[in-house]
Amino acid sequence: MKNLKKIKELKGFILDMDGTTYLSNKPFPGVIKFLEMLKKQNKKFVFLTNNNSMDTSQYISKLRKMGIKVKKENIYTSGQATALYLTNKTKSPRVFVLGTPSFEKELEKAGCILTDREVDYVVVGFDKTLTYEKLKKACLLIRKGAKFIASHPDINCPTIEGYIPDCGSICAAITTSTGKKPFIIGKPKKEIILGAVKQMGTKLSESCIIGDRLYTDIKAGKNAGITTILVLSGETKKKDIEKTKIKPDFVFKSIRKLYEKLL
């Protein structure tokens, strides 16, 4: 493992949520102490998640219930990044959404027009309200020429019950039907990392990402050129690292183990 001095000198920490910081509604051991340490050292941090089933205010509430004190500037989601992308590309874009009511509100708040007529974009998120009717409409609209957008590529979302289908799995069904692949907004795209770093107010060279997935968290960090820290508390297992070309700069069993090493 590389010298821990590099981590100690960092000023900005991007933390993944599901599988890294918590599982469902329970924070992993050591997370709160780690964040308290960052605050005492005047370090910046932001929670970055591909899970857009909730909006910023809901994530703040969720984290606070776990004992994790955060403000609006500590949250950055793929929902925010997707809304920014769509409204930067098209003025008042007409969007058909496969997503939760919270995701729909976030897009609408940013200036998107939610509709199933004359659609510019079919946007897929982590849709816990998914129905066959939604899938059918999405496929028909894409065949008619609507652009296919995915807020993130995650295949599964970890929960206490086990892994459940995420945005990537929903997109796979649409791709199988239409033959069209989505343009992805969230991790592993570097743009979402750049947005999170900008929100922290740090430089890329002094920022890092801590996550549990090689193909989203670590790859996103690599794409953006920041330090990458993999924790084995979620989807990725130690044996997976040997099989991939995506090599993290640091590997820890959990955030608690990272915290203990930095003491």
Note if 16 is an active site residue: yes
Please provide the distance, in angstroms rounded to a whole number, between the alpha carbons at the two ends of the chain: 17
pLDDT in tens, 61-89: 999 999 999 999 999 999 989 998 999 99
Mean pLDDT over the full length of the chain: 94
* pLDDT 10s digits, 153-180: 888 887 888 989 999 999 999 999 999 9
Q: What is the reported pLDDT for 176?
A: 98
Q: Would you state the pLDDT for residue 230?
A: 98
**Sorting pLDDT into bands at 50, 70 and 90, what band is 24?**
confident
Is 240 part of the annotated catalytic residue set?
no
Residue 79 CB partners (closer than 8 Å, separation 6+): 52, 55, 102, 103, 106, 107, 125, 151
Fold of 5-50+187-262: Rossmann fold (3.40.50)
Helix (H) or strand (E) holding 56: helix 56-65
pLDDT tens, position by position, 102-115: 999 999 999 999 99
pLDDT for the residue 53: 85
Which residue among 18, 120, 166, 249 is the active-site one?
A: 18
CATH class of 89-184: alpha beta
Q: Do domains 5-50+187-262 and 89-184 have the same CATH topology?
A: yes
Choosing from 16, 127, 154, 217, the catalytic residue is 16
Domain residue spans of the chain:
5-50+187-262, 89-184
